[in-house]
Amino acid sequence: MYTLHYAPDNASLVVRLALEELGLTYRTELVDRSIRQQKSAAFLRLNPAGLIPVLETPQGPLSETAAILLWLTETHGAPPSGRPLAPPPGDPARGPVLKWLFWLSNSLHADLRIVFYPQQYVGPDIDAMEALHAGVTRRLAGHYTLLEALVGQPWFGGADPTILDLYAAVTMRWAALYAPMGAWFTAADYPGLKALVQRLETRPSVQAAIRAEGLGATPFSAPKPCQPPEGTAL
């Protein structure tokens, strides 16, 4: 059995969705961010970087969201019903999917972190944080415009979800909810992406995540702050 070390509405949510889509048995272990448990000695033994998520596997602990997603798809192939969450090795579509997976992780997700925690990048000066917010959110708007243009391409936005769909949907939730320097994102500006996440919201995987993390009825298309049964998103 896998163990997912998670915090509500963190990057672990993407991994939870993939585990659910694959029909895998797993347990969860809360990482209490309110006491910075992700920096504890016990957690650092699992992930020396001190970041959530960690997935404990029979081969040892894995960290980094994109790496976990890729490992799960390579290890388990297709879910009980439907096609694989990513093209298998040798499939012509595998290269483009890997490109966009790591772009989601290294570009879009990384820029969201700057918006969420501007003081970590420029210190406490309000003017500096506002300038950083303005520049990065303009870049993020371009990121979502790129994703909007991809909807309907193979392995993104189709009837069967992929790791790209799951990752993009969760980032849309965060973009709408977590903006300490002011709101800047609405799903309505990206109709293709909004339709994609509305389809996801009907899936059993998302319904399971809603129950587990208190995400609300429309966690991606019209998100509200989570009310988890344990832990905190902050």
Give the CA diameter of the chain.
52
Tokens of 195: 């339709």
The amino acid occupying position 31 is: V
| Whether 14 contacts 167, CB under 8 Å | yes
Query: 3-class SS at 124?
Result: coil
**Which residues have a Cβ under 8 Å from the Cβ of 75 and sit 6 or more positions away?**
none
CATH topology of domain 94-203: Glutathione S-transferase Yfyf (Class Pi); Chain A, domain 2 (1.20.1050)
Burial tier of 187 (Cβ tally within 10 Å: 0-12, 13-18, 19+): buried
Region 179-188 average pLDDT: 94
| Whether 209 contacts 219, CB under 8 Å | yes
CB atoms within 10 A of CB 103: 17
Q: Give the Å distances, CA to CA, from 164 to 17, 84, 121, 128, 185.
A: 12, 12, 28, 33, 19
Q: Give the Å distances, CA to CA, from 170 to 41, 42, 98.
A: 29, 27, 18
CA distance 165 to 161: 6
At 80, the pLDDT band (50, 70, 90 cuts) reads confident
Tokens of 158: 């189709």
Q: What percent of the chain has pLDDT over 70?
A: 100
Residues 26-51 have pLDDT tens digits of 999 999 999 999 999 999 999 999 99
Q: What percent of the chain has pLDDT over 90?
A: 92
The amino acid occupying position 37 is: Q
Nearest to 174 by CA among 129, 219, 107: 219
> So where are the chain's domains?
94-203
* pLDDT for position 192: 97
Q: Give the Å distances, CA to CA, from 155 to 66, 69, 144, 150, 173.
A: 16, 14, 17, 9, 20
Region 114-131 average pLDDT: 96
* pLDDT for position 97: 96
**Which residues have a Cβ under 8 Å from the Cβ of 217 and sit 6 or more positions away?**
201, 210
Mark 47-83 as b/e (b = at least 16 C-beta within 10 Å): beeebbbbbbbeeeebbbbbebbbebbeebeebeeee
Residues 6-25 have pLDDT tens digits of 999 999 999 999 999 999 99
